[in-house]
Structure 1
Amino acid sequence: MIRQLQIWGMRVLMIGLIIYVGHRWGMPLYRQYFAPKKTTIYVPTAPVREGPFVVSFHDLGALKAERSVAVSSEIEAKIIYLAPEGSMVKPGDKLVEFDTTELQRRVRERELALSNAEAEVRRAKAELEILMEENKTRIAQAKATLQFNEAERDAAKEQRDSKVKLANDKLIPKTEAEQAEINLRAKELQVEKGKMDLTLQEKDAQSKESQKMADVRTKEFARDMARIDLEEAQRHLKRAVLTAPAAGMVVLSKIYTPEGRRKVKEGDTPWRRMTLLTLPDLRSMQVEVAVGESDAPKLYVGMPTLIRLEAVRNKVYHGVITDISSLATEQDPWEGGATPGKKNFDVTVQIKESDPKTLKPGMTADVEFIVRRIEKALYVPIEAVIERNGQTYVFVKEGKNWRRTPVKTGAYNDNFVCILRGLRKGDLVALRDPTKPLEQQEAGSTAPGAEKPRDEKTTSPIPVPTGK
């Protein structure tokens, strides 16, 4: 009997020990490795809000100065110094310096060319003076010969008259009178020949002098051109150093190269009249924005805008549209990020605030174009609205469950959409489809819970409303 009691006691002790060990270590291991796990799927939510709503859209642009002074190259030479971009300069500060080796050689060549041209002018004038003296001498000789022949003719005429009278009086033979007549005719021919020779000499002198004068004028013109070339070379040499015409910040221009479009740098050889840099007036700034064709009809001159800088995220500037291009243009393919075939309208936005210390040319600006304002509207995050199979609905939280609620949407912007019917202020809506796995919603869907491809119609976004 005692033996049986001992055996049953040992059995009870072993059973108790097994129960204790199982409770102490077995249950935790079972829960950790074998028991089915209960998972809770997190669904982000947002309340339905009521208040002012801004219908707007965003586009990125770049800042530029409303007024700026361009600094251009007057020569073609290599740049050996260039003021750093972004540096502030005062009037008279050096901006650009060119290599003058070629310019100095050009000046020396043109000085020599001018000296040779002046020597040619002096030689041509000296030859003209000699020619004029020679012509004067020849003409004087021709006149003297003519005068002598005229005197000889007059003497022969008197002699003929005398002999004719004596021959009529039978005092001399008639043959002597005839001979005197022949001598007179010979003298008259010499006079006529002398007159023709004098006329020829005068015309020849006039022709040669005219030719020589033309040669002098040609030489003088060549000298004047050589002087102009020298003055131009000297002027270019003086312009080998460009100084600031006004105070401002240095903004380097972009040039096209085989490697792409880039800023001007030292070592470049710009062409004449090329703008190397600008000195913008930072007191009045603008934003240049390329707006797509779909949004362009919403724009008008005078439209208000809000401007946020990527570099200064905690500050909002106010602007107004001052100009809209009449024609759409395709973005320059040299510009990074250009979409082939996409047409944009160039829009200029004037910034109302003046902030020279912050606003700098080239800064990226996010421009919010205010299309219209709604004084009072219900709105939800655009991610909450699902559009599928021609139906638009949201999921409203009711305790631990979700109720699919059809809605009618209205105006929207980049982040919110107005609800015209179907929701009340304060309703809590899901920001994704709680009935679908998260992985399925992220696999190329156009909206939370959407299963259709991207090219099907979905609610399009546009900006955050100013009023909450």
Structure 2
Amino acid sequence: MQRGWRRSQIAFLAFGVVLIALFAPASPYFRSDRRKAKSRETVRSVPVRRIDWLTATITAAGRAASMNNSEIRCKLERLTSPGGGGSVSSNGSSTILSVIPDGSVVKKGDLLCELDSAEYQELVRRQTIGVQKAMAEHREAQLNLEIAEISLQSYLEGSVRQAEQEFEGQVALNTSGLARQEDRLAWAQRMLTKGYVSLSQVSGEEETLLRLKFALDQIRMSYQNYQRYSLPRDKRSLQSQVDGARVNLSYQTLRLKLERDRLALFEDQVNRCTIRAPNDGFVIYADEPGQPQRIWEGASIRQRQRMFYLPDLDRMEVQTMVHETVIDRVDVGMAARVRFEALPGRSAEGRVTSVARLPLLDQNSSAGDVKYYLAVVRLDQIPSGLRPGMSAEIEIVTSRLPEALVLPPVAITVENGKEVCYVIGAKGIERREIKVGQRNSDYTQVLDGLEEGEKIVLEPSEVAVTTL
């Protein structure tokens, strides 16, 4: 009986030793000793150091964009050409006959797309006929004006002078004849007193004198009527023909210009069916995200439809979103370094050219959302292979601080909203709250809480893992 009881005690003690061996490392007592001993030996550390200059930076994500992003639309218009056989019109749409592949790099003047121009070529053909007709009528109006001006000049310098000379000649002849008749009458009256002529002869001479006076008065009255009435009437009639011909010529000139302008418009529409690059760039189809493709051979294109985007690859910039907590540290003119995910191992230098005064908002944003501000960095040199839309990491140099006490950013963690690091001391690892200042990708400035030379746990997460 006693021997059995002893076996039970021995078994119970053995079971207790096993339990202690299994659970002792998890107890607070044993954990404290382990933290003091093992953590100091195995956790990686870094010393707090002082550097001559700290170049403070802000890092933000962004994307490449072109400063000169041409938008190419369909420039065809709704046009109508009236004609004798009925009007012909185009509704401003066309069909793509050929198109350059999406993503092509082009030079200024390179062919991008060819549209069907059949409707506009028919408009040009009809309008050419209209222009030729207008030219013929314009020439006829010119000739009519020349004829009217010649008729007026011929009348003023020919017919009028001839009529005046005829009237003046008739007046002179009749005046001379009247003077001779007066002399004959005087002679006959003297001869009558001497008995050489009869009284009937004297009466005949008097009658002839009266007839000549009447004829002279008639000529003078006709000349007065001519100058007062006939000459102004005929002159005005001919001048009216000149004015009418001149007005008609002006109308035909304007009509011809309009017909030619319309022809030039139709020819321009034919030329617009051939779309060329306005500048060097990178071809991007103007397809809407989530929508069916709209640019392809055989597709219908409507008036003012977006067809291509043509960003200029020689004038690139980077657009970045700066967090509201650091936006007051970013200003125009600050230097920046840009790294592109698609171009590993290469970076580009640039400067901040603009900083938005208002945050970016969208339809889904609310008053409590974190705000971001748009900043633009212009690149000094464009890396080969850079394309619009490529993701980038932008490091903006905000200031340079002398004699700065620094730590690597990975040695600092945030707990309960406060910056914390773990200091390795003689008694073990100590959790310590610190105050930080400026920073960059390599260093963070320490304003308070640490002294130069103190050793800090490089990876705070290792402390938690080690102390479990």
Cross-structure match for 2:384: 356
Note the residue ranges of structure 2 that are not aligned, 5 or more in a row.
77-91, 190-201
Deviations 1:263-303 (A, max 9, x none): 9956554649x994436345x754244657853554353x4
Cross-structure match for 1:227: 260
Task: Tell me which of 100, 125, 137 is aligned to 1:120.
Answer: 137
Task: Tell me which of 344, 364, 368 is aligned to 2:395.
Answer: 368
Structure 1 position 317 matched with structure 2 position 347: yes
Where does 1:87-102 land on structure 2 (aligned, <5 Å)? 87-89=104-106, 93-102=110-119
Whichever residue aligns with residue 208 of structure 1, its letter is Q
Structure 1 position 306 matched with structure 2 position 337: yes
SS of the residue corresponding to residue 365 of structure 1 reads: strand
Cross-structure match for 1:163: 181
Mark the CA change 1:338 to 1:118 in structure 2 (over 3 Å): closer, same or farther. farther
Determine if contact 2:404/2:445 at 8 Å carries over to the other structure.
no
Mark the CA change 1:331 to 1:84 in structure 2 (over 3 Å): closer, same or farther. farther
Task: Tell me which of 206, 211, 216 is aligned to 2:239.
Answer: 206
Deviations 1:102-154 (A, max 9, x none): 42243134213312311321332343355457657876666655554444433
Mark the CA change 1:246 to 1:408 in structure 2 (over 3 Å): closer, same or farther. closer
Determine if contact 1:304/1:318 at 8 Å carries over to the other structure.
no
CA distance in 2, matches of 1:214, 1:202: 18
Cross-structure match for 1:278: 310
Aligned residue pairs, count: 404
Q: What is the alpha-carbon root mean square deviation over aligned residues?
A: 5.3
Cross-structure match for 2:226: 194
SS of the residue corresponding to residue 266 of structure 2 reads: helix
CA distance in 1, matches of 2:174, 2:292: 100
Q: CA deviation at 1:191?
A: 1.7
Whichever residue aligns with residue 324 of structure 1, its letter is T
Q: CA deviation at 1:190?
A: 0.8
Note the residue ranges of structure 1 that are not aligned, 5 or more in a row.
1-7, 436-468
Structure 1 position 177 matched with structure 2 position 209: yes
Determine if contact 1:58/1:368 at 8 Å carries over to the other structure.
yes
SS of the residue corresponding to residue 336 of structure 2 reads: strand
Cross-structure match for 1:110: 127
Q: CA deviation at 1:212?
A: 0.6
Whichever residue aligns with residue 407 of structure 2, its letter is Y
CA distance in 1, matches of 2:301, 2:349: 38
Determine if contact 1:146/1:194 at 8 Å carries over to the other structure.
no
CA distance in 1, matches of 2:370, 2:429: 45
Task: Tell me which of 436, 445, 448 is aligned to 1:409.
Answer: 436
Deviations 1:404-433 (A, max 9, x none): 43544343357964334435532338848x
CA distance in 2, matches of 1:400, 1:105: 96
Taking structure 1 as the reference length, what is the TM-score of the superposition? 0.64
Whichever residue aligns with residue 245 of structure 2, its letter is K
Where does 1:8-407 land on structure 2 (aligned, <5 Å)? 47-50=45-48, 54-64=55-65, 75-76=75-76, 78=93, 80=96, 81-89=98-106, 93-128=110-145, 131=148, 146-169=164-187, 170=189, 171-172=202-203, 174=206, 176-196=208-228, 197-244=230-277, 249-251=282-284, 265=295, 267-269=300-302, 271=304, 276-278=308-310, 280-281=312-313, 285-289=316-320, 295=327, 298-299=330-331, 301=333, 303-312=334-343, 314-321=344-351, 324-325=353-354, 328-330=356-358, 344=373, 346-352=375-381, 355-357=383-385, 359-370=386-397, 371-372=399-400, 377-379=405-407, 381=409, 383-386=412-415, 394=421, 396=423, 403-407=430-434
Mark the CA change 1:263 to 1:237 in structure 2 (over 3 Å): closer, same or farther. same
Determine if contact 1:394/1:430 at 8 Å carries over to the other structure.
no
Taking structure 2 as the reference length, what is the TM-score of the superposition? 0.64
Q: CA deviation at 1:367?
A: 0.6
Mark the CA change 1:74 to 1:199 in structure 2 (over 3 Å): closer, same or farther. farther
Determine if contact 2:358/2:373 at 8 Å carries over to the other structure.
yes
Q: In percent, how many aligned pairs have the same letter?
A: 17
Cross-structure match for 2:199: none
Q: CA deviation at 1:311?
A: 3.1
Whichever residue aligns with residue 58 of structure 1, its letter is T
Mark the CA change 1:344 to 1:109 in structure 2 (over 3 Å): closer, same or farther. farther
Mark the CA change 1:89 to 1:132 in structure 2 (over 3 Å): closer, same or farther. closer
Determine if contact 2:72/2:309 at 8 Å carries over to the other structure.
yes
Whichever residue aligns with residue 57 of structure 2, its letter is S
CA distance in 1, matches of 2:250, 2:274: 37
SS of the residue corresponding to residue 102 of structure 2 reads: coil
CA distance in 2, matches of 1:265, 1:180: 102
Deviations 1:170-222 (A, max 9, x none): 23465653443232111111122233423542343234213313322331342
